[in-house]
Amino acid sequence: MCIVEFKNVSFKYSEYNIIDNLSIKFSKNRFEGILGQSGIGKTTLIKLILGMLKQDKGEIVRNFKRTGVMFQADTLIENLSVLKNMLYVTNDKRSAMKFLQMVGLNDFTHFKAKHLSKGMKKRVEIARALCIYPELVVMDEPFGNLDLLTKINLASKIKFHLNELETSFIYITHDIEEALTICDNITVFYEKPLNINFKRYIDVQHKNKSILSKEIKEFIIRTSNRYPDFKSNNIFF
- Residue 162 has a pLDDT of 67
The predicted-structure confidence for 63-112, as pLDDT tens digits, reads as follows: 999 999 988 788 899 999 999 999 999 999 999 999 999 888 999 999 99
pTM of the model: 0.86
Least confident of 22-31, 38-47, 49-58, 152-161: 152-161
The predicted-structure confidence for 110-131, as pLDDT tens digits, reads as follows: 999 999 998 899 889 989 999 9
How many other C-beta atoms are found inside a 10 Å radius of the C-beta of residue 114?
A: 12
Going from N- to C-terminal start, the domains of the chain cover: 2-65+135-234, 72-134
Q: Are the CB atoms for 152 and 173 separated by under 8 Å?
A: no
C-alpha closest to that of 101 among 30, 146, 149, 160? 160
Q: Can you tell me the mean pLDDT for 195-206? A: 91
Residue 231 in this model has a pLDDT that exceeds 50: no
- Residue 181 has a pLDDT of 84
Residue 32 in this model has a pLDDT that exceeds 80: yes
Task: Say which CATH topology domain 2-65+135-234 has.
Answer: Rossmann fold (3.40.50)
- Residue 154 has a pLDDT of 75
Least confident of 3-7, 141-145, 229-233: 229-233
Q: Can you tell me the mean pLDDT for 123-143? A: 90
Give the DSSP letter string of 29-98.
Answer: TSEEEEE--TTSSHHHHHHHHTTSS--SEEEEEE--S-EEEEESS--S-TTSBHHHHHHTT-S-HHHHHH
